[in-house]
């Protein structure tokens, strides 16, 4: 499996789409991943493209953002159960023999039904190093840590990126960071799956430490022991060489069997993904919400992360997992994927 790849060919062709009973001229464009699809336009929906009903997902179809050449898949409006129940947590921990001590990190996952009233487009892949390089060239933005190395790894997910950099990239791409609810809905769908592919943990469907170890890492000690074994150095913030990161962090899209219901890839493992929301411990205890956006104000500036990482284990790859960090925090397992409305 190649870790770094330079460049793609970009193409543009004109096609005729039939939408709403009339012919419309639309441009097809080749994505940064080498596939061709309709050019995304703001406010566009599947019915505008002649795909069919806007109230369903199309996991095998996508549009292409002309700014950064990302592929976007459709997430229809709907409702799902966000978070977890104690019964589900107990079942998962018993089934996977995870250390019971780690249950303490699930107490803010109490569930509720969340209604998403409008469909939106989510990036099929996490933003890549190649795309972030285009952003730097176009805007003069500051590069991530160790950019002289990672700029050569075009297909790796962009990481070492803080929340402000991710939000600025999204604005440049005429997109947004997702809310926690939007992210979790794209991962879990109306069936509220525990993982993007279903309810059973499978270490071979995503890039986590358990995939590389090919064994369970049920406790925090077993996870950190594995991490040290590949060359990470413990400290207030773990240190790890870029060459090691590029060995264990796989190119985006490397686990197609881990796709979510809407066709989004790498929503478990790979890198944590920034969300727009501030963290609030009891967000899910206030009763049903419609299009929740997290708390207002600046009492807590920590921002939500979702999705698990290559440095972690199966427990953290759950779609309901709710880590958070300060918005200026950067590390080798934090990236992002925007959405467009």
Domain ranges in the chain are 77-340
Say what the pLDDT of residue 82 is: 92
Is residue 309's pLDDT more than 60?
A: yes
pLDDT band at 297 (very low <50, low <70, confident <90, very high): low
CB 20 within 8 A of CB 46: no
- Edge to edge, the sheet with strand 339-340 lists 63-64, 71-75, 120-123, 339-340
From the list 82, 77, 73, 5, the residue with the least C-alpha distance to 38 is: 73
Res. 274 pLDDT band, cuts 50 70 90: very high
CATH number of 77-340: 3.90.1580.10
Among residues 278, 277, 266, which one has the least CA distance to residue 308?
266
Q: Distance (Å, rounded) from C-alpha 170 to C-alpha 339?
A: 8
Beta partners for 320? none
Is the predicted pLDDT of residue 8 greater than 80, yes or no? no
- Cut 0.75: pTM above it: yes
Burial of 64 (0-12, 13-18, 19+ CB in 10 A): buried
What count of other Cβ atoms lies within 10 Å of the Cβ of residue 280? 21
Report the phi/psi class of residue 293: left, alpha or beta, with left for phi > 0 and alpha for psi in -120 to 50: alpha
Distance CA 193, CA 200 (A): 9
**Looking at per-residue confidence, does 10 or 327 come out higher?**
327
Distance CA 34, CA 52 (A): 25
Angle between helix 129-139 and 163-172 (nearest 10): 70
Give the mean model confidence (pLDDT) for residues 137-148: 96
Q: What is the pLDDT of residues 47-80, one digit of tens each?
A: 999 999 999 999 999 999 999 999 999 999 999 9
Give the CA dihedral 197, 242, 333, 160, nearest 10 degrees. -130
Give strand ranges (E) for the chain: 12-19, 22-30, 36-38, 63-64, 71-75, 78-82, 112-116, 120-123, 272-278, 289-290, 303-306, 324-325, 334-335, 339-340
């Amino acid at each position: 499996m190649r870790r770094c790849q330079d460049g793609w060919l970009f193409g543009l062709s004109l096609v005729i789409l039939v939408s709403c009973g009339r012919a419309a001229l639309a441009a097809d464009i080749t994505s940064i991943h080498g596939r061709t699809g309709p050019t995304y336009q703001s406010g566009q929906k599947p019915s505008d493209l002649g795909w069919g009903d806007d109230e369903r997902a199309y996991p095998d179809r996508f549009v292409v953002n002309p700014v950064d050449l990302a592929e976007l898949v459709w997430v229809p409006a709907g409702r799902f159960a966000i978070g977890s129940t104690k019964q589900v947590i107990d079942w998962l921990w018993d089934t996977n023999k995870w250390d019971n001590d780690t249950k303490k990190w699930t107490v803010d996952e109490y569930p509720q039904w969340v209604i998403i009233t409008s469909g939106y487009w989510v990036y099929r892949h996490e933003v890549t190093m190649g795309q972030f390089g285009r952003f730097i060239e176009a805007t003069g933005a500051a590069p991530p840590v160790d950019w002289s190395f990672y700029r050569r790894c075009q297909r790796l997910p962009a990481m070492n990126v803080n929340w402000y950099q991710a939000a600025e990239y999204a604005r440049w791409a005429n997109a947004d960071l997702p809310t926690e609810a939007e992210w979790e809905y794209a991962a879990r769908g109306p069936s509220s799956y525990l993982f993007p592919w279903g309810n059973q943990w499978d270490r071979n469907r995503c890039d986590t430490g358990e995939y590389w170890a090919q064994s369970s890492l049920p406790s925090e000690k077993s996870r950190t022991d594995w991490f040290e074994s590949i060359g990470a150095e413990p400290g207030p913030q773990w240190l790890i060489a870029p060459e090691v990161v590029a060995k264990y962090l796989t190119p985006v899209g490397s686990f197609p069997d881990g796709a979510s219901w809407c066709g989004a890839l790498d929503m478990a493992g790979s890198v944590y993904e920034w969300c727009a929301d501030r963290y609030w411990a009891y967000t899910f205890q206030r009763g049903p919400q419609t299009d929740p956006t997290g708390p207002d104000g600046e009492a807590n500036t920590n921002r939500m992360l979702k999705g698990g990482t290559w440095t972690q284990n199966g427990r953290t790859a759950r779609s309901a997992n709710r880590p958070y960090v300060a918005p200026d925090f950067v590390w080798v397992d934090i990236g992002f994927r925007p959405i467009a409305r």
